[in-house]
């Protein structure tokens, strides 16, 4: 049964409070703004969506299938079979249990489509994965994450719900004792833990991004990453899976304000705003400090939280109703100066912990920005469509300001004559306010590509360059910065242009992201022992084996301990599936990799004490892998 879902409403009291506060305001012309999702829900912004950056990146590389490294790479890891789901960007996490594998669904198709939901695969025969059926997502929601385990009540599956078209949040519970006939047991609504935010501002029915099943004796639990303001880590007792209840929670706001003892009944808005400011003021481009993912120890007493810019948080959950802090491990100095703690998994004894960072703010100077919109507060709606290109592409046009003719459909800018003839630049069409024209309305547009500077004549008194060269129907190229995109578009329209191209103003590029390996021998004082990157995740620009359309962030990780050997298995988007020996955490060694053109890996699952490994390819469904010993698989 779908529970009532209330809209988030910002009432007068909150509006007045925020007008005097330091809450962030979205400036779409801020090059450090990220996806537009890194802004407080308390200032009227959108609900936090952990997948927003990936959605934006998908937009930036739409219609392009990355080949990853330019050749098939197989090193100690070979594909045994494939569960085919040929749908670009659709497949998310993977989990396997007792001869069956389960894969989730991303934004498209959204719940309500018959192909949206958790796909079930029979993998008893590892050489021939067989499709069994689909557990459908609730209408209007996506099922990113899925976990399966034997609990006291039977074989339990949980999957997350995140709205992709106005559907519910929370998560679903199924019995999959017979995977060909899953039995729905309960829908669980997940709310903000603060009653004031619930009751007065509609902070209920939030999406869930990740889940983890665990037991303590006769009691069964699920831990959930809830996309709320406070209390992102929530624990539910599902001992009776038909009647689950929340029993405990924790949030990064408790790091900032440890003296607040009752977040449920807190009504002091000065404290609420203080905590809110902390949660949205982390490091680098993506500055939130919300929980992204977690792993629970096998005995169900320790929770390892990948808490984005709050770092790795270790909690004692021996009493699930009262999680307590053990330690925080954080390193904002390595790599690109960000934290972005995204995934985490400990060794069996807990002495080695592998942390995955996720970052889509990479190669900024060489790729077009993918988060720009034409719908802010500048007077009037845009009257022409706009698209964005990279800073490097903008440099070409600034150096050759007139005399170039070309065509754009919003996704590319192709120069057909002039000094830049033959050049083709990737582009990302700007979103617009309802009723404003888009390239879908106009179709491809052709004209002279004229550079006019920043196009901020109204608000900044900037000089408009080459205005006399703009003829009706031409396309104006401007540099990002100093004023809203709408002003740039209207400046272009006033000159008679049919479209505006906005060149980014980011002049330096950062790398993607990799892994941090920590020594937790003393869990109260973790020590960063090493980091690991692939060639492409460490690069600051495309080239060589690093495809400009590739995605080279690490994503998910599982760690397996067998005797003295500790290995990490990582799904690494366009870099494929990787295996690292982290037995010596100071010296991680890559011992296995599988990369195939067009395959982009989101999820990973490893069967314990066996050679079998499962990966979820965003574009192609399920892969079953076999890990071999020394030497490459031929």
Please say whether the beta carbons of 247 and 214 come within 8 A.
no
Cβ count within 10 A of residue 308:
27
Please say whether the beta carbons of 471 and 448 come within 8 A.
yes
What does residue 493 show for φ and ψ, rounded to 5 degrees?
Answer: -65, -40
The β-bridge partners of 341 are 308, 357
What is the average pLDDT score of the chain?
88
Cβ count within 10 A of residue 440:
10
SS3 567: strand
Q: Give residue 25's pLDDT.
A: 30
Please say whether the beta carbons of 392 and 365 come within 8 A.
yes
Instruction: Please tell me the number of Cα atoms within 13 Å of 91 on its side-chain side.
Output: 31
List, for residues 99-149, the tens digit of each pLDDT value: 999 999 999 999 999 999 999 999 999 999 999 999 999 999 999 999 999
Beta strand ranges found along 310-403 (DSSP E): 312-316, 324-329, 341-346, 352-357, 373-374, 386-389
From residue 476, how far is each of 254, 442, 473, 479, 607 by CA, in Å? 50, 16, 10, 10, 56
Cα–Cα distance, 202 to 44 (Å, whole number): 12
Phi-psi region at 350: left, alpha or beta (left = phi > 0; alpha = psi -120 to 50):
left
Asked if the model's pLDDT at residue 59 lies above 80, the reply is: no
Cα–Cα distance, 161 to 209 (Å, whole number): 7
Cα–Cα distance, 339 to 344 (Å, whole number): 13
* Tokens linked to 404: 């170039």
Please say whether the beta carbons of 388 and 408 come within 8 A.
no
Cα–Cα distance, 558 to 434 (Å, whole number): 44
Asked if the model's pLDDT at residue 618 lies above 80, the reply is: yes
Q: Give residue 611's pLDDT.
A: 95
Q: What's the rounded mean pLDDT across residues 616-631?
A: 88
Between 435 and 181, whose confidence is greater? 181
CA angle, 613 as apex, 608 and 618 as ends, to 5°?
135
Three-state SS letters, 147-181: EEEEECCEEEEEEECEECCCCCCCEEEEECCCCCC
Cα–Cα distance, 345 to 567 (Å, whole number): 11
Asked if the model's pLDDT at residue 374 lies above 90, the reply is: no
Asked if the model's pLDDT at residue 350 lies above 60, the reply is: yes
SS3 347: coil
* Largest CA-CA distance found in the chain, in angstroms, rounded: 79
Q: What is the separation, in whole angstroms, between the first and last Cα of the chain?
A: 52
Please say whether the beta carbons of 206 and 47 come within 8 A.
yes
From residue 94, how far is each of 103, 131, 415, 516, 617 by CA, in Å? 4, 14, 43, 23, 9
List, for residues 274-330, the tens digit of each pLDDT value: 999 999 999 887 889 999 999 999 999 999 999 999 999 999 999 999 999 999 999
| Torsion sign over Cα 446, 448, 454, 457 | negative
Q: What's the rounded mean pLDDT across residues 53-76?
A: 56
Three-state SS letters, 580-604: EECCCCCCCEEEEEEECCCCCEEEE
Confidence of residue 370 (pLDDT cuts 50, 70, 90): confident
Cα–Cα distance, 222 to 196 (Å, whole number): 25
Cα–Cα distance, 373 to 52 (Å, whole number): 14
List, for residues 3-36, the tens digit of each pLDDT value: 222 233 222 233 323 333 322 233 344 444 333 3
SS3 444: coil
List, for residues 510-535, the tens digit of each pLDDT value: 899 999 999 999 999 999 999 999 99
Cα–Cα distance, 515 to 557 (Å, whole number): 9
List, for residues 150-198, the tens digit of each pLDDT value: 999 999 999 999 999 999 999 999 999 999 999 999 999 999 999 999 9
What does CATH list as the number for 73-363+509-627? 2.130.10.10
Cβ neighbours for 335, distance < 8 A, ≥ 6 positions apart: 357, 511, 513, 514, 531, 533
Cβ neighbours for 378, distance < 8 A, ≥ 6 positions apart: 483, 484, 486, 487, 490
Between 48 and 468, whose confidence is greater? 468
* Tokens linked to 131: 């499709």
Confidence of residue 45 (pLDDT cuts 50, 70, 90): low
Q: Give residue 39's pLDDT.
A: 58
| Torsion sign over Cα 38, 109, 570, 133 | positive
SS3 228: coil
Between 336 and 240, whose confidence is greater? 240
Cβ count within 10 A of residue 542:
18
List, for residues 531-576, the tens digit of each pLDDT value: 999 999 999 988 888 988 899 999 999 999 999 999 999 999 999 9
What does residue 623 show for φ and ψ, rounded to 5 degrees?
Answer: -125, 135
Confidence of residue 354 (pLDDT cuts 50, 70, 90): very high
- For residues 304, 307, 311, 316, the Cα torsion angle rounded to the nearest 10 degrees is -30
- Give start-end residues of each CATH 2.130.10.10 domain in the chain: 73-363+509-627
* Tokens linked to 208: 């869930």
Q: Give residue 13's pLDDT.
A: 30
Between 64 and 431, whose confidence is greater? 431
Q: Give residue 434's pLDDT.
A: 67
Beta strand ranges found along 205-347 (DSSP E): 208-216, 219-226, 233-237, 245-250, 293-296, 302-306, 312-316, 324-329, 341-346
Asked if the model's pLDDT at residue 630 lies above 70, the reply is: no
Confidence of residue 367 (pLDDT cuts 50, 70, 90): confident
* Tokens linked to 530: 């090493």
Cα–Cα distance, 498 to 447 (Å, whole number): 8
SS3 270: helix
Cβ neighbours for 391, distance < 8 A, ≥ 6 positions apart: 364, 365, 366, 503, 504, 505, 506, 507
Asked if the model's pLDDT at residue 72 lies above 60, the reply is: no
- For residues 202, 208, 214, 219, the Cα torsion angle rounded to the nearest 10 degrees is 30
């Amino acid at each position: 049964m779908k529970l009532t879902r209330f809209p988030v409403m910002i009432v007068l009291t909150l509006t007045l409070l925020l007008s005097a506060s330091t809450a962030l305001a979205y400036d779409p012309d801020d090059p450090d703004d990220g996806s537009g999702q890194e802004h407080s829900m308390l200032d009227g912004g959108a609900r936090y969506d952990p997948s927003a950056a990936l959605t934006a990146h998908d937009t930036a590389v739409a219609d392009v299938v990355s080949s990853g490294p330019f050749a098939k790479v197989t090193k100690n890891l070979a594909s045994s079979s494939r569960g085919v789901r040929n749908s670009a960007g659709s497949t998310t996490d993977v989990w396997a249990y007792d001869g069956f594998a389960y894969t989730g669904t991303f934004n498209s198709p959204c719940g309500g489509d018959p192909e949206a939901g958790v796909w079930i695969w029979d993998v008893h025969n590892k050489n021939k994965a067989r499709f069994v059926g689909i557990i459908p997502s609730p209408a209007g929601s996506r099922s990113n994450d899925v976990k399966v385990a034997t609990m006291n009540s039977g074989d339990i599956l949980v999957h997350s719900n995140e709205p992709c078209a106005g559907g519910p949040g929370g998560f679903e519970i199924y019995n999959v004792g017979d995977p060909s006939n899953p039995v729905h047991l309960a829908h669980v609504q997940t709310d903000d833990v603060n009653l004031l935010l619930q009751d007065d501002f509609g902070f209920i029915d939030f999406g869930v991004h990740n889940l983890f099943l665990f037991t303590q004796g006769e009691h069964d639990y699920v831990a959930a990453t809830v996309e709320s303001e406070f209390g992102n880590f929530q624990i539910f007792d599902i001992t009776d899976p038909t009647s689950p209840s929340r029993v405990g929670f924790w949030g990064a706001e408790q790091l900032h304000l440890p003296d607040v003892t009752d977040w449920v009944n807190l009504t002091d808005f000065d404290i609420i705003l203080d905590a809110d400011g902390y949660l949205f003021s982390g490091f680098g481009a993506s500055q939130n400090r919300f929980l992204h993912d977690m792993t629970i120890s096998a005995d169900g007493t320790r929770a390892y939280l990948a808490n984005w810019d709050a770092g790795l948080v270790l909690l004692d959950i021996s009493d699930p109703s009262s999680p307590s802090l053990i330690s925080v491990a954080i390193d904002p100095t390595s790599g690109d100066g960000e934290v972005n703690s995204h995934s985490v998994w400990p060794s069996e004894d807990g002495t080695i912990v592998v942390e995955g960072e996720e970052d889509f703010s990479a190669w900024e100077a060489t790729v077009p920005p993918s988060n720009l919109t034409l719908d802010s507060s500048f007077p009037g709606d845009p009257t022409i469509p706009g698209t964005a290109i990279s800073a490097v592409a903008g440099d070409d046009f600034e150096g050759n300001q007139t005399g170039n003719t070309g065509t754009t459909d919003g996704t590319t800018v192709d120069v057909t004559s002039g000094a830049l003839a033959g050049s083709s630049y990737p582009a990302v069409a700007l979103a617009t306010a309802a009723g404003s024209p888009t390239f879908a309305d106009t179709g491809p547009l052709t004209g002279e590509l004229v550079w006019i500077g920043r196009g901020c004549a109204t608000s900044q008194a900037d000089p408009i360059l080459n205005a006399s060269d703009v003829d009706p129907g031409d396309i104006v190229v401007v540099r990002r910065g100093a004023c809203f995109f709408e002003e740039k578009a209207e400046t272009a329209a006033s000159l008679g242009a049919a479209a505006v191209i906005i060149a980014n103003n980011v002049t330096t590029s950062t790398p993607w992201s990799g892994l941090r390996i920590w020594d937790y021998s003393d869990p109260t004082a973790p020590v960063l022992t090493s980091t690991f990157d692939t060639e492409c995740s460490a690069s600051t620009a495309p080239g060589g084996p690093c495809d400009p359309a590739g995605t080279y962030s690490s994503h998910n990780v599982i760690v397996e301990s067998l005797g003295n050997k500790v290995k990490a298995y990582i799904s690494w988007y366009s870099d494929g599936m990787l295996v690292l020996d982290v037995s010596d955490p100071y010296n991680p060694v890559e011992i296995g990799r599988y990369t195939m053109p067009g395959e982009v890996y989101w999820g990973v699952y490893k069967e314990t004490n066996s050679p079998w490994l499962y990966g979820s390819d965003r574009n192609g469904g399920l892969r079953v892998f076999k890990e071999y010993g020394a030497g490459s698989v031929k």
